[in-house]
Amino acid sequence: MSVHLGSQTTNIAMTAGMPPKRVSRTRRATFFAFVGLGTIVGAWLSFIFLSENGMRLSEWALLAVFIPLYYQLNIGFWTALFGVWLMNRSQPDSLDLWRSLTAEDYEQPISASTAIILPVFNEDVTRVFEGLRSIYLSLEATGQSKNFDFFILSDSDKASQWIEEETAWLELCRQLKAFGRIFYRKRRKQINRKSGNVSDFCRRWGKNYRYMVVLDADSLMSGALLTSMVRIMEKNPGIGIVQTFPKQIAADTLLGRVMQFAQALYGPPFMAGLDYWQCGEANFWGHNAILRLAPFIEHCALPPLPASTPFGGHILSHDFVEAALMRKAGYAVRLLPTTRGSYEEGPPTLVDMLKRDRRWCQGNMQHLWLLFAKGWHPMSRINFLHGILSYVSSLLWFLFLTLATYLAATPTPHHEPQSILAEKILLGLTAMLIFLPKTVILLDEMITGRMFKSLRLRLLTFVSCLCDTVVFTLMAPVLMVFHSRFVIYTVVGKTVSWVTQRRKIDGGVNWLEIIFTFASVTLLGVAWAALGWFVSPGFLPWISPILFSLTVSILIAVIVSGSRSGRRFGIFLTPEEYDPPTVLKTMTENLEEIKGRLQLAPELERHFGLMQVCLDPYVNGLHVSLLRRRRTIDVSRGYLDEIAQRLITQGPQTLNAQELKAMMHDTDTVSNLHFRLWSAADHELAPFWATAIRQYNLAASGPFTHTLAKREVE
Amino acid sequence: MEAVNIQFAPATGTEEEWNEAYARLADYFRSYQLHNRIRRTQLILETLRHAAAAHAADPSRTPTAHSIEQARRMLRVWLGSIYSDLNLNEAQLEATGRLGFHLAGGPSRWPQFFLDEENMPDDMAEAMRSAIRTSGPGMQVSKMTPRDIDLGMFTDVAEDTFDRLGRQPILRYSILAVIVFGVLGYLYSLFS
């Protein structure tokens, strides 16, 4: 079967992009042979050591916990090694998607229509729209942008946020002359969170587009990569989803910079390794990816899971499931190894990271339902399993340490030479599994200079690698405790709410939050150390690194959440920090310009959007114009009048989020509110409005420029 | 528009009340980004003159309330003449018109013609009419219906998965098994 695509005249097989089964099976057989061998050898050595005096129940339990942990360790180890091998072998990878494009393909104009969607939920409006501006300009610079449309899909439920998004949208369109290219849509009800938001887009406008690029609020992508992704999809009709590797950028805390350094150094080999064995059954990570819309609409709508939350209900980690559904429909899901052009931001502090992990944990645990569902490709099941294991393994590790402590308290002698040899080999093997991938990747960088060509920067990378090992070693036990807790929370039915992820720290380290979060971990560390000392002083040194981390977890959280990150010494330097790509440079410059803006009184800043929609005739006009007219029944008219009166006479702080939202959804109320406020005598106004009326015209140089840089396009 | 008479002597209301109304109107017209001060003053005085007449007829409301109401009335009349061919209700007319004036660059290009129904330049009216914006393209509705996932039972799935695994690459997995067990056997012999 063949198909003509756009202006291309070459006949393309409909299955192009789906790796041949022969290749996929050979690769997986090879990869899992190594993983299986490593796991079985580890389990066998462990069994030999434990069974010297016969196996007790606690020893069987230890072995049972050890096997999945060792399996996971082997997966990481072999993925990294295969990745390094792939990156260094002279023969190019036969499945490399970049190879499907020829020099001629890059000359062809892009005719496929593509929607770039940006679902947002109470995000930093300036960051979202400045990011969007940079992507838009980068795409324009390719000369291939005419068939790309942008959609900001808002689920924001804060009134001020909503208004600021609208004004930023209008101003961005005006500055870029992009009306009809950048669209804004606000959902009235946030059904099914982000996946519901995307589905809503698909239902309304999906038919207009062949492809959809999904971005996160903190995503950044270059025009060159976006156009390449569309070209790859055009050349490979057998592909349903292409997932890029989003590198972390713009971190300003130690944790953020360590994470982005680690991702820059270790990410590419891991990505190459994953691509090696996942082949056409890779995962979708929810953003910085391109999707073929027709099959996505037809096959990837998500049904609710049986039972109630947290295990059932709406699927939280929708991306893995959508990838599995796409594969089930016969389309490949591929990874696109990239080192430039695809970026995202990470959580700035340990607390923020844990909040994010809590959501991800619940989402992954839900996949237990799907693990045994019918019809999946076996690799999709493995992907689900690995997702679950990424959190459950923390609980297993915790259990492993607990059982080890128990066994230390009730020791049995080990005299047999085989047993002692097995223990030594196991220790060496485990150390190798943990440290060899890092060592090999670092050596690769030292020799090839993939990240940095200069010798000085390579040496700094070497030092940074040693430093990041210290940071991750200190953080790992803390993460273990929290992830274990999250798994248990999910099992006992504690659900998680949908909150906005924080991307930047405002006002330094929050000591109170850290102490409140980590005090229990410190107590656990102290209690465990005391218990360890009591039951077996000889065992204590073995787990002392873990207990030390737990005991000083508050200090660790404070240090990694701070802004002292060794930047001025060149530590944890990434290529994006050293030589920022244009798309990042544009955004950073614009964000810097906005930082220098005149600020209003804090109370007015907090309700800036609300103040604008009430006072500014243009913003009020914009908001009413964008609202859909709905029939208002008499009861709600009275209710809306009452809350509008309260807003005028008592100020916005007396209204809750629901009341503000209800008011902002009604065209007549918003329209009248503007005149009622201006008509009220000074003594009738709440102090907030009296100040706002006096200050608004002084601070706002233009009604729509408060959140955006002034960068007019000629 | 007739020449503005700067003599202003309202029959009702106190001086303090009218001063408050003046200040409010000044802020109000400034929020339209009208930087032409002469035009702003003209508008304020004209609006106050209308408001004074209205206040004489209904002194129960404050001069400030009358002033803003008169400004709103003048706006509606002005916008009504620009968008007469569009079927808009009052809220839509005000919203669309104000936004249209901003997007057409009205505050900087035609500040002297703001609310001036009689001397309206054709290009301003045309620019305001063509500045109507929508936030999204025309919809093309698709069905995106979730299909039930058969969650099955463990045994069914195991069968399903292992069937798949077993059909094609029997030889490969046999070789893999031989290697794995070979290594295990060797290890066992080392320790036994």
Q: How far is B97 from chain A (nearest CA, A)?
A: 8
Nearest alpha carbon to residue B72 among A654, A678, A142: A678
Domain holding B48, by residue range, is 15-130
Residue A432 lies in a domain: no
pLDDT computed for residue A495 by the predictor = 67
pLDDT beyond 90 at B5: no
Structure tokens at A103: 């020099």
User: Same domain for B124 and B29?
Assistant: yes
Q: How far is B87 from chain A (nearest CA, A)?
A: 14
Asked if the C-beta of B26 comes within 8 angstroms of chain A's C-beta atoms, the answer is: no
Whether residue A87 contacts residue A425, with contact meaning beta carbons closer than 8 Å, is answered with no
User: Same domain for B168 and B122?
Assistant: no
Asked if the C-beta of B140 comes within 8 angstroms of chain A's C-beta atoms, the answer is: yes
Residue A404 lies in a domain: no
Residue B31 lies in a domain: yes
pLDDT computed for residue A335 by the predictor = 96
Asked if the C-beta of A48 comes within 8 angstroms of chain B's C-beta atoms, the answer is: yes
Give, rounded to a whole angstrom, the gap between the first and last alpha carbons of chain B.
110
Domain count, chain A: 1
Residue A639 lies in a domain: yes
pLDDT computed for residue B100 by the predictor = 92
* Side chain identity, residue A348: P
Partners of A679 on chain B (C-beta within 8 Å) are 64-65, 68-69
User: Same domain for B183 and B111?
Assistant: no
Choose the mutation target among B16, B66, B73, B142 for the interface with A, i.e. most A CBs under 10 Å. Answer: B142
Asked if the C-beta of A370 comes within 8 angstroms of chain B's C-beta atoms, the answer is: yes
User: Same domain for B100 and B160?
Assistant: no
Domain count, chain B: 2
User: Same domain for B91 and B126?
Assistant: yes
pLDDT beyond 70 at B188: no
Among A33, A617, A623, beta carbon nearest to B32: A617
pLDDT computed for residue A705 by the predictor = 77
Choose the mutation target among A24, A30, A628, A679 for the interface with B, i.e. most B CBs under 10 Å. Answer: A679
Contacts of B112 (CB under 8 A, 6+ apart): B36, B39
User: Same domain for B122 and B173?
Assistant: no
Looking at A179-183, A699-703, B10-14, B33-37, which range is the least confident one?
Answer: A699-703
Residue A673 lies in a domain: yes
Structure tokens at A693: 């009326």
Q: Find the helix or strand (DSSP H, E) in which A241 lies.
A: strand A239-244
Give per-10-residue mean pLDDT for chain A (714 aa): 39 79 94 96 94 88 95 97 94 90 93 96 94 97 95 93 94 91 90 90 94 96 97 96 95 94 96 95 96 95 77 84 95 94 94 91 88 89 94 94 85 85 94 95 94 94 96 95 89 66 68 90 93 81 91 95 88 95 95 82 88 93 83 73 94 92 90 93 91 77 78 74
DSSP string for A112-176: S-EEEEEEESS--HHHHHHHHHHHHHHHHHHT--TTEEEEEEE----HHHHHHHHHHHHHHHHHH
Contacts 24+ apart (CB under 8 A), A131-134: A131/A217, A131/A218, A131/A219, A131/A220, A131/A587, A132/A172, A132/A182, A133/A172, A133/A175, A133/A176, A133/A586, A133/A587, A133/A590, A133/A708, A133/A709, A133/A711, A134/A220, A134/A583, A134/A584, A134/A586, A134/A587, A134/A590
Residue B124 lies in a domain: yes
- Residue A68: count of CB within 10 angstroms of its CB: 16
pLDDT computed for residue A497 by the predictor = 62
Residue A556 lies in a domain: no
User: Same domain for B112 and B27?
Assistant: yes
Residue A423 lies in a domain: no
CA distance A236 to B10: 78
Residue B66 lies in a domain: yes
Decide if A679 and B64 are in contact by the 8 Å CB cutoff: yes
User: How sure is the predictor about B146, in pLDDT bands with cuts at 50, 70 and 90?
Assistant: confident
User: Same domain for B113 and B160?
Assistant: no
Domain holding A627, by residue range, is 599-699
What 8-state DSSP symbol labels residue B100? Answer: H
Pairing of strands A211-214, A289-292: antiparallel
* Side chain identity, residue A164: E
Residue A194 lies in a domain: no
CA distance A33 to A656: 59
**Domain's final residue, options B80, B115, B130:** B130
Asked if the C-beta of B179 comes within 8 angstroms of chain A's C-beta atoms, the answer is: yes
Whether residue A343 contacts residue A317, with contact meaning beta carbons closer than 8 Å, is answered with no
Question: Tens of pLDDT along B61-78?
Answer: 999 999 999 999 999 999
**How many contiguous H segments (helices) and E segments (strands) does chain B have?**
8, 0
User: Same domain for B124 and B158?
Assistant: no
Bridge-partner residues for A248, per DSSP? A344
pLDDT computed for residue A714 by the predictor = 67
pLDDT beyond 80 at B4: no
Residue B5 lies in a domain: no
Whether residue A686 contacts residue A650, with contact meaning beta carbons closer than 8 Å, is answered with yes
Residue A629 lies in a domain: yes
Query: To the nearest 5 percent, what fractions of chain B are helix, strand and coil?
Result: 65, 0, 35
Q: How far is B139 from chain A (nearest CA, A)?
A: 5
Question: Tens of pLDDT along B153-171?
Answer: 644 554 455 455 455 566 6
Asked if the C-beta of B56 comes within 8 angstroms of chain A's C-beta atoms, the answer is: no
Whether residue A3 contacts residue A12, with contact meaning beta carbons closer than 8 Å, is answered with yes
Residue B6 lies in a domain: no
b/e map B57-70, b = 16+ CB within 10 Å: eeeeebbbbbbbbb
CA distance A281 to A275: 9
Decide if A373 and B150 are in contact by the 8 Å CB cutoff: yes
Choose the mutation target among A114, A382, A622, A648 for the interface with B, i.e. most B CBs under 10 Å. Answer: A622
pLDDT computed for residue A1 by the predictor = 37
Asked if this assembly's ipTM is beyond 0.90, the reply is no
pLDDT beyond 70 at B6: no
Residue B142 lies in a domain: no
pLDDT higher for B41 or B178?
B41
User: Same domain for B121 and B73?
Assistant: yes
CA distance A39 to A69: 9
